[in-house]
Amino acid sequence: MRKTRINLSEQVRQNMVKLLNQHVTDLTDLFVQTKLAHWNVRGPHFIAYHELFDTLASHLNELTDAVAERATALGGVAGAPVQSIASQTSLDTWPMNLSRDAEVIRMLAERFAVVANSARAAITASADADPDTSDLFTEASRMLDKDLWFLEAHLAE
């Protein structure tokens, strides 16, 4: 841990960096999986889904950056090499043979839910020790929930 003038104990900062970096890992994986969906989706709603997935990926990119920057602000190192992400992610592997639009939406919704629910748990896990990190997870939760809503709206019957 690098020294910082942030008045949190080193132990709190270490715990927050660990929590933040797990989310950087999951968000990075979700970004890649969203781009896989974007590139490979097929079906009668192709262009709408293709554009939606690109928008969702851009949201994830912004969110990942904010979470990673909080880890570095606390004196930690942000992120993990891509080789480590595969073994540390909370998400299931994206099935590369998946292209049918409705199935792609369903799979993305499942993965967005995992990360959104994890962000919600992180709000509580960080609330007492570091309200600023907790607030960041609240922002993340709101964004992920909204994007999950967009996906789930396509699954409504």
Whether 73 has a pLDDT exceeding 80, the answer reads yes
pLDDT in tens, 81-112: 999 999 999 999 999 999 999 999 999 999 99
* pTM for the full predicted model: 0.96
Average pLDDT over residues 60-67: 98
Q: pLDDT tens digits, residue range 139-152?
A: 999 999 999 999 99
- Mean of the per-residue pLDDT values for the chain? 97
* CATH 1.10.490.10 at 10-153, yes or no: no
Domain boundaries, the chain: 10-153
pLDDT at residue number 62 = 98
Binned at pLDDT 50, 70 and 90, residue 156 comes out as confident
Structure tokens at 153: 């709206």
